[in-house]
Structure 1
Amino acid sequence: MQNISAVLYLVSAVLFILSLKGLSSPASSRQGNTYGMIGMLIAVATTFMVMEKPVLLLIVGAIAAGAAIGAFKAKTVEMTSMPELVAAMHSLVGLSAVLIAVAAIFHSGMEHTPVQKVELFIGAFIGAITFTASVIAYGKLSGKFGAKAVNFNGQHLLNLVMALAMVGFGGVYFFTDSHAAFLIMVAIALVLGVTLIIPIGGADMPVVVSMLNSYSGWAAAGIGFTLNNPVLIIAGACVGSSGAILSYIMCKAMNRSILSVLLGGFGAEVAAGGGGDSGPKNYKSGSAEDAAFLMANADSVVIVPGYGLAVSRAQHALQEFAELLHEKGVNVRYAIHPVAGRMPGHMNVLLA
């Protein structure tokens, strides 16, 4: 059975990698999604094969409840609300990592090696930061917490002190096996997740969502080491590395440092630089026909969609405008900035 499960885990890991490859292009994204779903189905079924029956019943109940909630959200969520849904899902991944780590710590029959202790520490604090940071990101994206950046004096110093305290209590756990020290470390990480995200404004959330995606992957990989589950390690590493690469690409596109995102305060710089002119602006309103009439004599038109298109749900008007130009023989193309929209790839999905 052990050999069979190892082979099945390897198959699911290969499917996850093929899924990422497929998702790299709109033309193959459906196929990539299918690979990912099949891989996850194989991984879950294999886990059922190797676990005890009492635990199996608990997990089946949890899967049934989660599937019902997921199916309901998939049917009811609007495309423009997808970013906050993704942020909410990241929070669940982080919370799962924390709960698994805490369960492993308090499990009386488990003896942890020094390496496993480090893995538990990393998985737990990344998961805790991911959980609360994703909850704040969800609130900012949905408008429940307000989209403005929250800044105060000594913000970065506070984050540094909490980070050092978190590592310190992790060290106490490592050398003494103190459950209390581990729980204090998790509590500090939960607060740190909040203070890292509140300085970032709503318009900069695409980079944050991408970064939280990376965090959730590394948290899953860390817990995979604890559970000795190879497919969880591979899947978590794929998600973590791809999210980090995407975040780097987005930061380069915004002329921002990836370090400033990790430290959680780059939104404050933007607010300080662009806060001079907040008065009313002059604008002209018109229909898609009016815009097409003005551009009918052009040989080529390049449309650069932005954040406003996403929040105003104007993609259908844009499609009508593009079709009118096509009828007049105009070559219409799109130039999509990596951070356009409200999450990574959001503008591509809206236009598709």
Structure 2
Amino acid sequence: MNNLLQFIYLITAFILIVGLRQMSSPKTAKHGITIAGVGMLGAIIITFFSPQIHGFSNYAIMIIAIALGTFIGWYSGNKVQMISMPQMIALYNGMGGGAAGAIAVIELLNHHELTFAMSTLSILGAIIGTISFSGSIIAFAKLQDLMKRVVILPKHQAINMILLVSSLVLGALLLFMPKATFLMIPFFALLLLLGITFTIPIGGANMPIVISLFNAMTGLAVGFNGFALHNYALIIAGTVVGASGTLLTQLMAKAMNKSVSSILFSPLSATTQQVEEDNGGSLKPIEQSDAAVMMAYSKKVIIVPGYGMAVAQAQHKIWELAQQLEQKGVTVKFAIHPVAGRMPGHMNVLLAEAGVPYDKLFDLEEINAEFSNTDTVLVIGANDVVNPSAKTHPESPIYGMPILDVNHAQNILVIKRGQGKGFSGVENSLFTLDNTRMLYGDGQEVVNKLVQSVKGL
């Protein structure tokens, strides 16, 4: 019976991998999510037939947990708007890490059933999963603006190191003294605290990378628990998530021209003096009607979206504006920076939701060379990813990060709610260039006025 269950687990894991593979393309992502969901549903159903599970109380607990999880997932999935999806992902990822930590607790309490190797894997799963849990909660709080973006304690890295070493010592004691279960309380308490102190000094601009890292950690924790439980589905799913999350973390760090270690262990100081590029310019506002004329009589317009577009929920109006411009013979493209928004692919998802064709979305490498022969660039809600200081000012905290070369365009229009700084707190020298004009106001309202103005031309 057990061999049959493991074989079915293998099938469900294969279905999950097929679903994940289809998620790699926007055209098949929706279908891939459905396939992956079917695979996970199959794994849940087959678990009821496991010989290790017996007794009415166990089945009742499982049914109640599934019912609660299904309701919460369905309700939040329908209630949460697309703008809050990064926070939701951070929170759900944290739940995965917490689940891995909880599984490790049960395994360690049943130490008499574990070999030394299985106990070691359980300890590793507990360490990684618990840190991912509390760290992801902090990431959620930051993205939701529930806490200060950067909190740096005195001797912060030393505190992290003390917490890590202390946790490892307690983990080793639990490994060699399995009956000392009273050590589990300080063990998990230190890990939860480490996840918090590890995350609070990291700035908002780096938060997508941190979320990706925690996702990889959760996958590894699940994989370790899978080895300890001899569950092929957990082993395969955890390994796939851990590997893909690690690769994504590295790719995102590369997109910012940074190493993962520099992002995690050399965060921006809360008192870092920001560098402003002195180009002798000033912020120059423009009326919506004049901006509409500028775009309508351009040969090519490139639209650069950022998190501000998500906040204003202006993606539908942006696509309407693009369609109006195309009707007047203007070539319109969308430039997507790899770390625009609060998570990988955030802008792609929002624009796809609005109906923007995939062939109009271009990443940094594909479109950067086109800015120099573009008549007008419209920047909506983007800030740090178009800041020329990343290339011109070595003292700038974002120096070295690849940017969209918006400043090379003939004309630049920037839609912005106010004159504040970006999420990383760095002044943007793009806004004071001679060829830049500012459109102040709510993104959706401003774009709607641009649409009406273009229609009237």
For residue 396 of structure 2, what is the aligned residue in structure 1? none
Against the structure 1 CA distance between its residues 158 and 290, is the aligned structure 2 distance closer, same or farther, given a 3 Å change threshold?
Answer: same
Aligned positions, number = 344
Against the structure 1 CA distance between its residues 347 and 180, is the aligned structure 2 distance closer, same or farther, given a 3 Å change threshold?
Answer: same
For residue 134 of structure 1, what is the aligned residue in structure 2? 136
Asked whether 1:349 is paired with 2:352, we answer no
For residue 99 of structure 1, what is the aligned residue in structure 2? 102
Counterpart Cα distance in 2 of 1:95 and 1:319: 40
Asked whether 1:251 is paired with 2:266, we answer no
Assess if the C-alpha contact under 8 Å between 1:200 and 1:268 holds in 2. Answer: no
Assess if the C-alpha contact under 8 Å between 2:202 and 2:264 holds in 1. Answer: no
For residue 66 of structure 2, what is the aligned residue in structure 1? 63
Q: Which runs of 5+ in 1 are unaligned?
A: none
Specify which structure has the higher proportion of strand: 2
Q: 1:272: Cα distance to partner? A: 2.6
- Pick from 199, 202, 213: which aligns with 2:201? 199
Identity of aligned residues (%): 39
Assess if the C-alpha contact under 8 Å between 1:136 and 1:194 holds in 2. Answer: yes
Counterpart Cα distance in 1 of 2:45 and 2:130: 28
For residue 186 of structure 1, what is the aligned residue in structure 2? 188
For residue 14 of structure 1, what is the aligned residue in structure 2? 14
Counterpart Cα distance in 2 of 1:2 and 1:155: 49
Counterpart Cα distance in 1 of 2:219 and 2:264: 15
Bigger Rg over Cα: 2
Counterpart Cα distance in 2 of 1:114 and 1:8: 28
For residue 228 of structure 1, what is the aligned residue in structure 2? 230
Counterpart Cα distance in 2 of 1:216 and 1:283: 47
For residue 173 of structure 1, what is the aligned residue in structure 2? 174
Counterpart Cα distance in 1 of 2:275 and 2:214: 27
For residue 241 of structure 1, what is the aligned residue in structure 2? 243
Against the structure 1 CA distance between its residues 67 and 275, is the aligned structure 2 distance closer, same or farther, given a 3 Å change threshold?
Answer: farther
Q: 1:284: Cα distance to partner? A: 2.6
Please list the CA deviations of residues 122-159 of structure 1 after superposition, one character each: whole Å capped at 9, or x if unmatched.
1101111111111111111111123x211133111111
Q: After TM superposition, where is structure 1 displaced by more than 4 Å over at least 4 residues in a row?
A: none
For residue 217 of structure 1, what is the aligned residue in structure 2? 219
Counterpart Cα distance in 2 of 1:83 and 1:176: 41
**RMSD of aligned C-alpha atoms?**
2.1
Against the structure 1 CA distance between its residues 295 and 39, is the aligned structure 2 distance closer, same or farther, given a 3 Å change threshold?
Answer: same
Q: 1:223: Cα distance to partner? A: 1.4
Against the structure 1 CA distance between its residues 346 and 317, is the aligned structure 2 distance closer, same or farther, given a 3 Å change threshold?
Answer: same
Assess if the C-alpha contact under 8 Å between 1:292 and 1:321 holds in 2. Answer: no
AA aligned to 1:160 is: M
State TM-score, norm by structure 2: 0.71
Q: Which runs of 5+ in 2 are unaligned?
A: 353-457
For residue 165 of structure 2, what is the aligned residue in structure 1? 164
Against the structure 1 CA distance between its residues 174 and 283, is the aligned structure 2 distance closer, same or farther, given a 3 Å change threshold?
Answer: farther
Counterpart Cα distance in 1 of 2:348 and 2:11: 31
Counterpart Cα distance in 2 of 1:168 and 1:276: 46
Partner of 1:335: helix, strand, or coil?
A: strand
Please list the CA deviations of residues 270-318 of structure 1 after superposition, one character each: whole Å capped at 9, or x if unmatched.
x7363669xxx7353554x754431233333322222322233222332
Q: 1:23: Cα distance to partner? A: 0.7
Partner of 2:302: helix, strand, or coil?
A: strand
Counterpart Cα distance in 2 of 1:203 and 1:240: 23
AA aligned to 1:59 is: M
More divergent stretch after superposition (229-238 vs 170-179) = 170-179
Please list the CA deviations of residues 18-61 of structure 1 after superposition, one character each: whole Å capped at 9, or x if unmatched.
11211111011012112101110111111112132431221011
Q: 1:340: Cα distance to partner? A: 0.6
Counterpart Cα distance in 2 of 1:126 and 1:35: 28
Counterpart Cα distance in 1 of 2:311 and 2:67: 34
Counterpart Cα distance in 2 of 1:248 and 1:32: 24
AA aligned to 1:253 is: A
Asked whether 1:152 is paired with 2:143, we answer no
Counterpart Cα distance in 1 of 2:313 and 2:339: 17
Relative contact order, higher structure (CA 8 A, sep 6+): 1
Assess if the C-alpha contact under 8 Å between 1:309 and 1:341 holds in 2. Answer: no
Counterpart Cα distance in 1 of 2:292 and 2:37: 42
Assess if the C-alpha contact under 8 Å between 2:19 and 2:31 holds in 1. Answer: yes
AA aligned to 1:243 is: G
Assess if the C-alpha contact under 8 Å between 1:90 and 1:131 holds in 2. Answer: yes
AA aligned to 2:242 is: G
For residue 400 of structure 2, what is the aligned residue in structure 1? none
Q: 1:217: Cα distance to partner? A: 1.1
Asked whether 1:74 is paired with 2:88, we answer no
State TM-score, norm by structure 1: 0.91
Counterpart Cα distance in 1 of 2:90 and 2:233: 23
Q: 1:4: Cα distance to partner? A: 2.5
Against the structure 1 CA distance between its residues 73 and 209, is the aligned structure 2 distance closer, same or farther, given a 3 Å change threshold?
Answer: same
Assess if the C-alpha contact under 8 Å between 2:206 and 2:263 holds in 1. Answer: no
Specify which structure has the higher proportion of helix: 1
Please list the CA deviations of residues 181-208 of structure 1 after superposition, one character each: whole Å capped at 9, or x if unmatched.
3432222111000001100123332112
Assess if the C-alpha contact under 8 Å between 1:126 and 1:216 holds in 2. Answer: yes
Q: 1:63: Cα distance to partner? A: 0.6
Counterpart Cα distance in 2 of 1:75 and 1:20: 22
Against the structure 1 CA distance between its residues 283 and 15, is the aligned structure 2 distance closer, same or farther, given a 3 Å change threshold?
Answer: farther
Against the structure 1 CA distance between its residues 24 and 267, is the aligned structure 2 distance closer, same or farther, given a 3 Å change threshold?
Answer: farther
Counterpart Cα distance in 1 of 2:321 and 2:194: 46
Q: 1:339: Cα distance to partner? A: 0.8
Assess if the C-alpha contact under 8 Å between 2:94 and 2:135 holds in 1. Answer: yes
- Pick from 119, 122, 125: which aligns with 2:124? 122
AA aligned to 1:349 is: V
Counterpart Cα distance in 1 of 2:138 and 2:276: 27
